[in-house]
Structure 1
Amino acid sequence: MNSKTHISLIKTVNNSPNLFTTSIIREFKIEADEPIDHGGQNLAPTPFDLLNSALASCTCIYLRIIATKYKIDTGDISIRIKISKNEDKSFLFDRKITIEKEINEEQKKFLLEKSNFSPTTIVLKGGNTIVTSLK
C-alpha cells in the first residue's frame, strides 16, 4: 500500500464536568465547547465548527496554491460552509467559495473543479476507518 501518513500529535483534555475541551497541537492551543442549549458554556467553537474550519482552510490554501501556480489573480478567497445531516445519517457540506477579483468563466470552472481535490475534501468524501482503543 502506497500511503503518506500525516501525524498530528494532539492531546485533548476535558477535566471538568462541563463540555469545554482544550487541544494542544504542536505549539498551538485549540479550544472547543458546545452551545448552552447543547449542555456547553459556549466558550469556544463546536467540534463541527472546527471541522468546517478545517475544510474551509484546506480548500483556501489549496486554491491559493493552484491560483498562484496557474497565475490566476483571485484576490482574497473566502469560504462559507454549512453542514447538515441527511435522512440517511450522512452529512452534507454546503461549501460556497467567493473570490474577490473578477476571473473568466474558464478559470472559475477550473478552480471549482480543483476545490474538490483539496486534501481535507478528499478525506471527508472518502470512506474512512477510525480505529479506537481505550486504556
Structure 2
Amino acid sequence: MSHSSVFATLTTASVIFSTLGINSKAAAQSLTVNNTEVTNYAQSVLAMEPDRQQAFEEIKKMIGEKEIPKIVCNDVNSMSSLPRKAMDIAVNYCNRSQKIVENHGLTIERFNKITVEIQNSSDLKRQVYNTLLRLQNTSDKSK
C-alpha cells in the first residue's frame, strides 16, 4: 500500500464513522493510548475498511443520486431514512465492525474514544499512521 493509500485509510479512520459508523462521542479530556491499543486500533481499521467501502457502494447503488445520510451504528434513527435493504446492509456492516473491533482486543467504547482522540492529537494520529504503514508493509511482504 502506498503512503497516500495509508493516509487515506487513516483519514477514513478519523471520519470512518461519519457515514457507516459507530457513535464516537467522547469526553474532551486527553486520552492515554498505549502501543498495544494503537496496534489493535490500526488492525481494526484495516480489517473494517473493505467492508465499509463495499457497504457504502451497495447503499449508494440502492439510493441512486441521493446523498447517503450520516449513518451511526448505535443510532437506529440515523438509518431510518434508508430503504429497507440499504438499512440491512448498514446494520450488517455495523455488526461485523463491532466483531472486528472486539476480535482485535478493544471494546467499541474504547475504539470510539481513540477515534475522537486521533482527531484531537497530532501525536496519536502520527502514531496510528506509522502503525498502519508498518502493518501494511508487513502484510505486503507476506504475500
- Give the alignment's TM-score, normalised by structure 2: 0.31
Question: 1 or 2, which has the higher helix percentage?
Answer: 2
Q: Which is bigger in relative contact order (C-alpha 8 A, separation at least 6)?
A: 2
TM-score w.r.t. the length of structure 1 is 0.32
Higher radius of gyration, 1 or 2: 1
Structure number having the greater strand percentage: 1
